[in-house]
Amino acid sequence: MFKKIEAFIRETYNCPKAFLPLHEPKFLGNELKYVTEAIESTFVSSVGKFVNQFEESLAEYTGAKRAVAISNGTSALHLAMKIVGVDQSSEVFMQPLSFVATANAAAYLLAKPHFIDVDLDTMSMSPEALKKRIEKSCHFTNNRLINRQSGRQIKACVPMHTFGHAARIDEICEICDYYNIAVIEDAAESLGTTFKNQHTGTFGTLGIYSFNGNKTITSGGGGAIVTNNEKLGTLAKHLSTTAKVPHAWEYKHDNLGYNYRMPNLNAALLCAQMEMLPSFLENKNNTALKYKDFFEDFEDIIYKVAPAHCNSNYWLNAIQLKDNSTKDLFLKEMNENGVMTRPIWQLLNTLPMYDQCPSGDLDTSIFLADRIVNIPSSVIL
């Protein structure tokens, strides 16, 4: 069975023998032209036209009022949590089935992650699990949601759109709005994904994206914050640029700021990648259709399609195997034969830094962690 899958993947990518990566970047447009222009301008650091151009294009593409270029997705998460008031007295709702950066960003602010289970179809935070956990473990007083056991306030909720598939984000936002919890969408993987015809990252108070080398489009390293709140967008830009008060020559800073600026050189690369995004998304959706048709013939393998109301970017294609032992055998055979595959992340609540954090029932997260594998998902030339 595994040999058949390997042969299909290699045929799909026209890669009969060579190593086949999981998700490699593609530079097919104006990348070299724009990067050369940035170099020749000498504006290669945090000031330059490409930073502004990228922020404008990202805001227009997502439908957000403001976009702020950031050095990477983790920094974007950290700053977004800081902006909504997350601190050492806080807890942050998040799913355990996520990349470690989601929890790390809260820990940087000395806040505690509070883990909520995921849905089987979206692999992202479950609104039902969120509501159940709130009703069981929290009380709402003076417009503040408090964890009864710890006494800490829940100040933010950070659902992550797993592998580019959208969470049921409208329901999550409705719950959080009722309890006065800021929603920060971890849309690091979902640029190009819409849910009910609205772009992921624009439902919550703030949203973040990542442009790491393995993302749908990349600037090598990079991230962004988007928001429909002009005041918060202005604050994000200010704090990300060391909270420097604008002046022709003086250095005045009016807040604790962060050097989270995206260099103009990276932004130049990203501007060219933004131009390629529509064709990349079409390409990846075509690949997803091929995978879907192929895996329908396998009784014990489920190809994870986009959930209802979601037009997914299919950042990483995922399959659900029969059990944990089958998953381990699949990973071993594929990787030993040069087809890069990866398991889903280790659950955050099992990491030594976070194993004492509060959590609800996590049965679905555990089920998926034992079975989900990512298979090659690059744009096909």
Distances (CA, A) of 66 to 79, 251, 271, 281: 15, 26, 16, 23
111, 140, 152 from 148: Cα distances, Å = 16, 10, 8
CA angle 61–66–68, rounded 5-degree value: 95
User: What would the DSSP string read from start to end of 134-184?
Assistant: HHHHEEEETTEEEETTT--EEEEEE-B-GGGPPP-HHHHHHHHHHTT-EEE
% of the chain with per-residue pLDDT over 70: 100
Please state the rounded mean pLDDT for residues 103-124: 98
The values of phi and psi at residue 225, to 5°, are -115, 135
- pLDDT at residue 331 tops 90: yes
Helices then strands, each counted (H, E), the chain: 11, 16
Residue 47 has pLDDT above 90, yes or no: no
Distances (CA, A) of 95 to 119, 138, 284, 325: 10, 17, 26, 24
Confidence bin at 300 (pLDDT 50/70/90): very high
Residue 285 has pLDDT above 90, yes or no: yes
Q: Residues 368, 374, 375, 377: is their CA dihedral positive or negative? A: positive
* Axis-axis angle for helices 2-12, 324-336 (nearest 10): 50
DSSP 378: P
Q: Would residue 354 count as lying in a domain?
A: no
Q: Which domain holds residue 63?
A: 31-274
The domain that holds 206 is classified in CATH as 3.40.640.10
Buried b or exposed e, range 193-210, using 16+ CB within 10 angstroms: bbbeeebbbbbbbbbbbb
- What per-residue confidence (pLDDT) applies to 141? 96
pLDDT digit string, tens, across residues 178-227: 999 999 999 999 999 999 999 999 999 999 999 999 999 999 999 999 99
Q: pTM of the full predicted structure?
A: 0.96
Mean pLDDT, range 41-54, rounded to an integer: 93
Answer whether residue 357 is part of any domain.
no
What's the mean per-residue pLDDT of the chain?
97
Task: Let me know if residue 155 belongs to a domain.
Answer: yes
Range 220-240 average pLDDT: 97
Name the β-bridge partners of 342: 374
Assess whether pLDDT exceeds 90 at residue 46. Answer: no
Residue 46 lies in a domain: yes
Q: Exposed e or buried b for every residue in 77-100, given b needs 16+ CB within 10 A?
A: bbbbbbbbebeeebbbbbbbbbbe
Task: Answer whether residue 112 is part of any domain.
Answer: yes
Classify residue 372: in a domain, yes or no: no
Number of domains in the chain: 1
Residue 23 lies in a domain: no
**Residue 189 domain-assigned?**
yes
**Of 237, 233, 176, residue with least CA distance to 204:** 176
Phi, psi of 248 (to 5 degrees): -65, -30
Structure tokens at 175: 């719950």
Span 244-255, average pLDDT: 93
Orientation of helix 31-41 relative to helix 49-62, angle to 10°: 140
Q: What is the pLDDT of residue 289?
A: 98
Banded model confidence at residue 1, pLDDT cuts 50, 70, 90: confident
Cα separation, 132 vs 360, in Å, equals 8
Q: Which pair of tokens denotes residue 15?
A: 């890669």
**What confidence score (pLDDT) does residue 99 get?**
97
